[in-house]
Amino acid sequence: MFKVTAYERLTTNEYQLWIDAPRIAARAKPGQFVIIRMDETGERIPLTICETNPKDGQIRIIFQVIGKSTAELAEFKTGSELLDVVGPLGTPTAIKNYGTVLLVGGGVGIAALYPTVKGLKQAGNRVITVLGAKSKDILILRDECAKYSDELILMTDDGSIGRKGLVTEAMEDVFNREQIDQAWAVGPGIMMRFCTQVATKHDVPVYVSLNPIMIDGTGMCGCCRVTVDNHIRFACVDGPEFLGAGVDWDSFMQRMRQYRVQEKQAFEQYEQLRQVQ
């Protein structure tokens, strides 16, 4: 069992857990993730490790409630115990000194981007970070990212903080005034797709973090398969990071929508049951 040592509701639908997992905390690197199972009948939930504290044996997870399983996870407050936390999984981000790097995060994807921002700054890079969200109230980890960024650009749909507009607009501005050696984009699939288009136009390689359905997280089941450079890859072991220019975005987006009806039905049933109770 894995104890939740700290719980916080960050925004309306985003939550933070610190979990006691010493072996994971000692080994995890930027870009890696864990798979959480709440109980014996629970769904396996892949979540990127946002931060680690090896000294105290803690890992930090930030997630958004988007369905039944994440709604259930949001009920695991301080002192609760999770049945399984498996990890660290996936291939770590290639942290090294590239020169000047651009990192773009959208929504809850900022939580997955943050350890890469930190790692790249500590590796000696000049770090330019762009964070985007619908509004100020749901733009997470601003202060943390600012600490490890030479320049932080905030974008919101409603203009409530930073500039009003999309992260791709900020990318264009940066590319037009800076020589960027490497870029990363982490967020919703559609955001990463358009970030890839902008970076490719400026001949800058961009890594994206793909989050398809996963079950075992070790490449056995094949549920997380994605097409990259016309080859089948498994996001859980070959990724989750891939160069965006090689991703078959049409097939990826289609797979992400595959169980949307079933997910909606399960969430509605869960909400109805909660109201009865």
User: Which residue positions form the known binding site?
Assistant: 62-64, 221, 224, 236
* 222 contacts 214 by C-beta, under 8 angstroms: no
Nearest of 88, 145, 73, 81 to residue 116 by alpha carbon: 145
Q: CA dihedral in degrees (150, 154, 160, 166; nearest 10)?
A: 160
| Bond into 240 cis (ω within 30) | yes
Tell me the three state secondary structure of residue 96.
coil
How far apart, in Å, are the Cα atoms of 162 and each of 91, 148, 153, 154, 269? 33, 18, 7, 5, 39
How crowded is residue 259: how many other Cβ atoms within 10 Å of its Cβ? 13
Return the exposure string of 177-186: e unless at least 16 CB atoms fall within 10 Å of the residue's CB, then b. Answer: eeebebbbbb
Residues 258, 224: Cα–Cα separation, whole Å: 12
* 209 contacts 190 by C-beta, under 8 angstroms: no
- Residues in binding site for FAD: 62-64
- Residues in binding site for [2Fe-2S] cluster: 221, 224, 236
Residues 85, 38: Cα–Cα separation, whole Å: 9
* Phi and psi at residue 90, to the nearest 5°: 90, 165
